[in-house]
């Protein structure tokens, strides 16, 4: 769970009043999610990083227009990020054939791609809600290629503890991703 217990909607309302600390917390929660979908869409790290910066500049400018009655804060932020990506695509041409995308989504139609983006957005955002200890364990377990025994050695805790913490992390993620699990 984040050290800051305020909801995204509360933070956006504060950002709209010029609260720098709320802006920092929103950035902490969403920077990796934004960069993630920017990379998926643009396939170019440099452009994706530019778009990520543009997204948070837009959040700062537009947060006062966010209306919780019209949707969840995560959805609003996702829309801001996607608009920044579209602007990024307009501003610079896509990579040439000789410069293939960094991340490829083979065989996905437009609707599937949007759904995959949204899923990644939600999952990556949910990861940010985990305590740092559990988040790093999940990332090691799923994407490092290490076995749980190797992870136990790496983080210097017993194997049973690694598994217990991983289960605890998955439970938290299940709570956070309740809508996606229905």
Partner 1 sequence: MKDLRELIGDDDVEPVELARLQRVHDLLGKAGPPPELPPELAATPEPPRAQVIPLPRRYRFTAVAAAAVVAAVLFGVGYLVGAVPDQTVDRTVTMSGSGGASAELDLFEADDAGNWPMELRVDGLPAGSYELWLTRDGELAEPCGRFAVSEPQTTVPLNAPYRLRQFDGWVVVPVGEQEAVLST
Shorter beta-carbon distance to partner 1: residue 69 or 101: 101
| Residue 69 CB, nearest approach to partner 1 (Å) | 25
Phi, psi (rounded to 5 degrees) for 52: -65, -45
Secondary structure in 3-state letters for 61-127 = HHHHHCCHHHCCHHHHHHHHHHHHHHHHHHHCCCCCCCCCCCCCCCCCCHHHHHHHHHHHHHHHHHH
Q: Which is nearer to partner 1, 48 or 73 (CB)?
A: 48
- Measured in degrees and rounded to the nearest 5, phi and psi for residue 103 equal -120, 125
- Least distance from C-beta 61 to partner 1, angstroms? 7
Report in angstroms the alpha-carbon separations of 121 from 6, 23, 78, 82, 125: 20, 19, 8, 11, 6
Nearer to partner 1, 10 or 60 (CB): 60
Can you give the binding site for partner 1, defined by CB under 8 A?
Answer: 18, 20, 23-24, 27-28, 31-33, 35-36, 39, 46-47, 49-50, 52-54, 56-57, 60-61, 91-92, 116, 119-120, 122-124, 127, 138-139, 141-143, 147-148, 160, 163-164, 166-167, 170-171, 173-174, 177, 180-181
Q: Quick one: 60 or 131, whose CB is closer to partner 1?
A: 60
CB of 101 to partner 1, least distance (A): 14
Residue whose CB is less far from partner 1, 73 or 169: 169
CB of 15 to partner 1, least distance (A): 9
- Sequence-distant (≥ 6) Cβ neighbours of residue 107 within 8 angstroms: none
Minimum distance from CB of 33 to partner 1 (Å)?
7
Q: What is the distance of C-alpha 84 from the center of its chain? A: 15
């Amino acid at each position: 769970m984040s050290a800051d217990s305020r909801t995204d909607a509360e933070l956006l309302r504060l950002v709209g009043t010029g609260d720098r600390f709320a802006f920092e917390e929103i950035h902490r929660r969403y920077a990796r999610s934004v960069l993630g979908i920017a990379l998926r869409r643009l396939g170019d790290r440099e452009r994706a990083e530019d778009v990520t910066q543009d997204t948070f500049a837009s959040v700062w400018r537009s947060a006062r227009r966010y209306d919780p009655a019209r949707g969840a804060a995560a959805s609003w932020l996702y829309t801001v990020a996607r608009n920044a990506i579209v602007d990024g695509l307009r501003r610079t041409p896509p990579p040439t054939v000789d410069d293939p995308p960094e991340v490829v989504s083979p065989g996905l139609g437009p609707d599937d791609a949007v759904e995959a983006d949204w899923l990644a957005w939600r999952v990556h955002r949910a990861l940010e809600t985990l305590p740092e200890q559990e988040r790093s364990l999940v990332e090691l377990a799923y994407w490092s290629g290490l076995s749980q025994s190797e992870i136990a050695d790496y983080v210097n805790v017993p194997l049973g503890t690694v598994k217990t913490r991983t289960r605890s992390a998955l439970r938290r993620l299940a709570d956070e991703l309740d809508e996606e699990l229905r």
